[in-house]
Structure 1
Amino acid sequence: MHTLLRRAMNDAGGWLPFDRYMSLVLYAPGLGYYANSLRKFGTMPQQGSDFVTAPELSPLFGRALARQVSQALRVSGTDTVIEFGAGSGALAEQLIDALEVLGTPVARYQIVDLSGTLRERQAQRLQRFAPRVEWLDRWPDEIHGVLVANELLDAMPVQLLHWTGAHWRERGVEMDARGMLSFSDRPTAARPPTPAQADVSFVPGTVTEVHVQAEAFVRTLADHLKRGAAFFIDYGFPESEYYHPQRTGGTLMCHHLHRADPDPLALPGQKDITAHVNFTGIALAGQDAGLTVLGYTSQAHFLINCGLVDLMETADLGERAMAHRLMAEHEMGELFKVIGFVPGEEFDAIGFSTGDRSYML
C-alpha cells in the first residue's frame, strides 16, 4: 500500500487530496481495505473482524426492512431489489427470505460491490438463491425496482477542510523519504455548504468534511431510477448539526478490531475509514436531480414503524437483546438515520409513518 501511495503522490506532485487518499486506501484493487482479503464484518474481534453492521447484529433488521421494501415493490409494480455495498451478504439473505414470506418474492436481487473478495463471500452465502442473485459491475442503464444501501454513504471518500480563522484550506496527505504520512493543507475554493458569513462562527483549527462523492452518487441514482424507490441507512446528521460551530473535529473515524480511532494515516489499507453523512446534502442532491424525499427519520422510528417490535415478540431472549440495540438511543437507534427517495409520485411509506424528521433537513 505504501508503494502505491508513494507512486500516486509522485504522480500528483507530492500531495494527494484526502478524498483521493481515502479512495486508494479503501478501494485500490487488491490492496485497499474493501478490496483485500482481510475480514471486515462480525461480532468477534478475536476472529479478525473490525466492526458489526445491523444485519450481522440481528436478522430482525432485514425482516423489518423487508416490510418497507415489500410495500415499495407493490406500489411501483416491480420485482427487483438492487443493493449497493452488500458486505457479508447478510442483508441480502434476510431480505430475500422475508420478501418471500411477505408475498412479494423478488425475481432478481442485484448486488453492486467493488470488492471481489466480498463478492466471493456473498456468492457462498447466497448460493441457495441462484440464479436470482446477480452481481453488476456498474449501474444498470435503468432501475425498475427498490434500491437499498446500509452503511454505504459513510464509506464514500470525503474532502477534508481546515478553517484557519481567515480561510478554508483543503487538507491532503504527503509522504516523507522514510515513508511516513502526514497532513498538509493547500488553498482551495471548496467550503462547507454553509453561508459565507457563518465562517466567523467556526473556531480556528476546525476540521470538517464535504461529501462531494456521496452527493454525486445520489444524483447518478436519479438518472437511473425510473420506477421504485431507494432507501439509505447510515449514521449522520442534518446540516445544522453537522456543521455546528462546536463540532470542531469533524466526524472522520477509523475502525480496526472493534476499536475506533481518529487517525486515518495509520495502517493504511488495514482499517476502515468513515465519515458521518450530511443528510441535508443528500436530500438536496436527490431533489435537485428530480427525486422526491419520501421521508427521513431515525433508525429506531423506521424499524418500529416496520414492525420490529412485533417481530421481537416471537424471538428468543438473546435475539430480543440484540434487536434492542437496533433501537436503543445510546446504541444504533438514534445515531443511524434512514432517508427514502422515489422517482415519481410519492406514497405513504410505512417506515416514515411516525417520527418523520424531513422538516429538519
Structure 2
Amino acid sequence: MTWRTAMERALYGTDGFYRRERPGEHFRTSVHASPRFAAALGRLLAEVDAALGHPARLDLVDVGAGRAELLINILRTADPGLAERLVPTAVEIAPRPPEVPDRIRWRDELPPEITGLVIANEWLDNIALDVVEETPAGPRLVLVDPATGAERTGPEPSPEDLDWLARWWPLREPGDRAELGHPRCLAWSSVIERLAGGLAVAVDYSHTRESRPPYGTLTGYRDGATVPAVPDGSCDVTAHVALDACCASGERAGVSDTLLTTQRDALRSLGLSGTRPPIDLAHRDPRGYVRALCAAGEDAELIDPGGLGGFGWLAQSVGISVPSILSPVPSPV
C-alpha cells in the first residue's frame, strides 16, 4: 500500500499507535523537557489576549495534545484574570486521560471557530503522507509492506501531488526521494480557516526548499529510541515538515501576518536564555542559585540549536499582527 495509507492505519487505526500508547513514553518533546516551555507559551498567550482586546472568551487550543500536559502547565501559571476567561481545548484522538482537569475540553477534531491561540507542537510531522522516488521513467509513489517495511515503486503520483512536488521538493536524479507534504498543507490551512482571530503556531522538525534531504526523513520511535520506520502500529512513524509549504498554504487561507523562525529564536524572545546565574548568588542565596541553575539547564535544552532549539516555528495570525514579542533578540556576545 502507499505510505500515506500505511501511516494512517499504523498511527490512527482502530489499534493504532496513537490510540494505544502514551507518546511521552516513547519520545521526548519540548513539553516533556520542561514546564518552562509552557511558561514561555503562556507569555505568548497573554500577548495574543492583549492584541485581541481581552475578549470575554479566549480560546487556547492544543492540537495533538497527548495527555494535555501543555495545557495543564499553562493553566497553572496563567494570570488569574486571563485564566478566568480562558477556554482550554485539547484536540486528540486518544481517549481522555482521567487526570485531565474537567475544565479542559476534549475533542477529536478542531473546534469550528477559534479566537485566541492555537498550538500545534509536533503535530504536523505525524500527518500521514506519501513518499515518492525519482526513477528513469519519472517520479513514482513508493509502496510499502506494513508488516515488514519492505518497499517497491508503484504508480505515478496524482497531478495535485506532482504540482506540489515541482514547487516544493523537485527531484533531480534517480534514487532521490521526497515526502509529499500536500496533506500537511491541507491540515495547516484547516487550522487557519477556523481562526476567527488570534495566532496559530506550528512547532516541528522541519526543512525548507533550499535544504530538503535528498532521501527523505522517515523515522520510527519506540521506547525512547529511533527504530526503522515500519508502519505496523508498533512504533511512532514520523517525517520532517516542509514548513515553508505550510506557510504558503496558510497565506492562501487568509492570514494577516506570518513569521517563520526557529525554536531557539522564538523561545529566546519569550525570555528563555540558558544563561547561568552569577556565582555570587550561590553565596547569597544557595537555594535560589540551585533553582536558577536548573532553570538555565532546562532553557539550554529547549533552545539548543542541535536539538529542540533547531525545530521550526511557523506563526501565522488572523485579525492581528504576529506579536512583536516574537521578534528575534540579539545573540549574546
Unmatched runs of 5 consecutive residues or more in structure 1: 1-15, 42-48, 356-361
Paired letter, 1:53: T
How far does the alpha carbon of each residue in 1:167-188 deviate from its partner, in whole angstroms, 9 at most, with x for none? Answer: 000112247xxx6552232222
Report SS of the residue matched to 2:150.
strand
Q: Does the CA-based 8 Å contact 1:145-1:229 persist in structure 2?
A: yes
TM-superposed deviation, 1:210: 1.0
Q: Does the CA-based 8 Å contact 1:253-1:264 persist in structure 2?
A: yes
TM (norm. structure 1) is 0.79
Q: 1:192 to 1:321 in 2, by over 3 A?
A: farther
Q: 1:180 to 1:57 in 2, by over 3 A?
A: closer
Identity, % of aligned pairs? Answer: 22
Q: Does the CA-based 8 Å contact 2:134-2:176 persist in structure 1?
A: yes
Partner of 2:61: 82
TM-superposed deviation, 1:92: 1.0
Following superposition of structure 1 onto structure 2, how do residues 248-327 of structure 1 map, counting pairs within 5 Å?
248-261=214-227, 263-265=228-230, 268-309=232-273, 315-327=291-303
Paired letter, 1:39: R
Following superposition of structure 1 onto structure 2, how do residues 1-361 of structure 1 map, counting pairs within 5 Å?
16-29=1-14, 31-36=15-20, 38-41=21-24, 49-76=25-52, 77-78=54-55, 79-100=58-79, 104-105=82-83, 106-116=85-95, 119-120=96-97, 123-124=98-99, 126-127=100-101, 130=102, 132-174=103-145, 180=148, 182-188=150-156, 189=158, 190-191=161-162, 193=164, 195=166, 202-242=172-212, 247-261=213-227, 263-265=228-230, 268-309=232-273, 315-334=291-310, 336-354=311-329
How far apart, CA to CA, are the structure 1 residues paired with 2:207 and 2:276? 28
Q: 1:312 to 1:21 in 2, by over 3 A?
A: farther
How far does the alpha carbon of each residue in 1:18-60 deviate from its partner, in whole angstroms, 9 at most, with x for none? Answer: 111100000112x111011x3320xxxxxxx211111111111
CA RMSD across the alignment: 2.4
How far does the alpha carbon of each residue in 1:135-164 deviate from its partner, in whole angstroms, 9 at most, with x for none? Answer: 123332211221111111111111100111
Q: 1:347 to 1:265 in 2, by over 3 A?
A: closer
Unmatched runs of 5 consecutive residues or more in structure 2: 278-287
Report SS of the residue matched to 1:205.
coil
Q: Does the CA-based 8 Å contact 2:274-2:298 persist in structure 1?
A: no
How far does the alpha carbon of each residue in 1:80-137 deviate from its partner, in whole angstroms, 9 at most, with x for none? Answer: 2111111232211121122226x52243101110112xx21xx40x32xx3x311123
Task: Give the total of aligned pairs.
Answer: 310
How far does the alpha carbon of each residue in 1:285-324 deviate from its partner, in whole angstroms, 9 at most, with x for none? Answer: 0011111343111101100100113898673433432321
How far apart, CA to CA, are the structure 2 residues paired with 1:310 and 1:320? 4
